[in-house]
Amino acid sequence: MSSPEPFGTRLRQAMDARGPLCVGIDPHASLLAAWGLDDDVNGLERFTRTVVEALADRVAVLKPQSAFFERFGSRGIAVLEQAVAEARAAGALVLMDAKRGDIGSTMGAYAEAFLRKDSPLFSDAVTVSPYLGFGSLRPALDQAVLSGCGVFVLALTSNPEGAEVQRATASGGGSLAQLMLNHMADENAGADPMGPVGAVVGATLGVAGVDLDINGPLLAPGIGAQGATPADLPGVFGDAVRNVVPSVSRGVLRHGPDAAALRAAAERFAEEIRVAVGGA
């Protein structure tokens, strides 16, 4: 059996072909209401299907937030399973925003849920938390390589509360976030065009203040509703900006339920990002 194409290669190809943009699928109650939908499984399904049908054939990455589906129980998970399959069939890479973190066999089970090819929730990548120790992520890292998938590890997040942990001094000196980034760089060493282990680094940080040269993708939430703009990306990410995957959710989703408006918003963000990154 031939080895799967590495995630870093697939992601670079997708961003080069479709533009460096990730659009979140975040069907929270207020957004469903803004679309004129009920906060129930039917509303969830209509919202999700509209987003997937409008964007999956043109954006590089779609990022469903698992929690907004889980809150409806098994019927919500069924909607998520369908969305993942349809988005991937249309050519988008699916990044499952699950932020899982645990140890041993439990971490292994999370990895199988999202990164094993025969799983109903099989995605191209998943977000994870390293704050039980980077080594606790080993089952997910190994499964990702086996399946040709990616793992995005929380490093410096866009929420202000994150700094009390992420900026704390690690035992060897330097910040805890930098320690995690160093581990990611080790995992990606030698990969071309980039490795499968990405970092989550908020676009709202102004200046990251850490070494982001991890030879892997950098998921950058915070553009749009949280206040960051594509023009902020070079200042935050510096020389690593070409590996940035900027993530926009409400900035695109607020234009629904009109599919043409969703597509136009995504295209505007993608073009603004191209200009910002190209000029870095």
Q: Is residue 131 part of a domain?
A: yes
Question: Are 180 and 167 in contact, with CB atoms under 8 Å apart?
Answer: no
pLDDT of 272: 94
With respect to residue 260, please indicate whether it lies within any of the assigned structural domains. yes
Evaluate whether residue 233 is within a structural domain: no
* Span 196-237, pLDDT tens digits: 999 999 999 888 889 999 999 999 998 987 788 999 999 999
Q: State yes or no: is 99 an active-site residue.
A: yes
Kindly state whether residue 2 falls inside one of the protein's structural domains: no
Domain count of the chain?
1
- Residue 116: predicted pLDDT: 98
Mean pLDDT of the chain, nearest integer: 95
Predicted TM-score (pTM) of the model is: 0.97
pLDDT band at residue 1 under the 50/70/90 scheme:
low
- The answer as to whether 234 is a domain residue is no
Q: What is the extent of the structural domain holding 122?
A: 7-228+239-278
**How many other β-carbons are positioned within 10 Å of the β-carbon of residue 131?**
14
pLDDT tens digits, residue range 36-90? 999 999 999 999 999 999 999 999 999 999 999 999 999 999 999 999 999 999 9
Q: Residue 97: name the closest of 46, 28, 49 by CA.
A: 28
Mean pLDDT of 16-33: 97
Query: Which positions ≥6 away from 13 have C-beta within 8 Å?
Result: none
Residue 74, Cβ density class (10 Å: 0-12 exposed, 13-18 middle, ≥19 buried): exposed
CATH number at residue 258: 3.20.20.70
Residue 139 located in a structural domain: yes
- DSSP structure class, residue 169: B
Q: How confident is the model at residue 278 (pLDDT cuts 50, 70, 90)?
A: confident
Query: What value does the CA radius of gyration of the chain take, rounded to a whole number of Å?
Result: 18
Mean pLDDT of 256-278: 95
Alpha helix ranges (H) inside the chain: 7-18, 29-34, 41-55, 66-70, 73-89, 104-115, 138-147, 163-166, 176-188, 233-237, 250-253, 259-278
Which is the catalytic residue, given 28, 49, 88, 99? Answer: 99
Tell whether 1 is covered by a domain: no
- Of residues 190 and 209, which shows the higher confidence score? 190
Is 19 inside a domain boundary?
yes
Is 70 exceeded by the pLDDT of residue 279? no
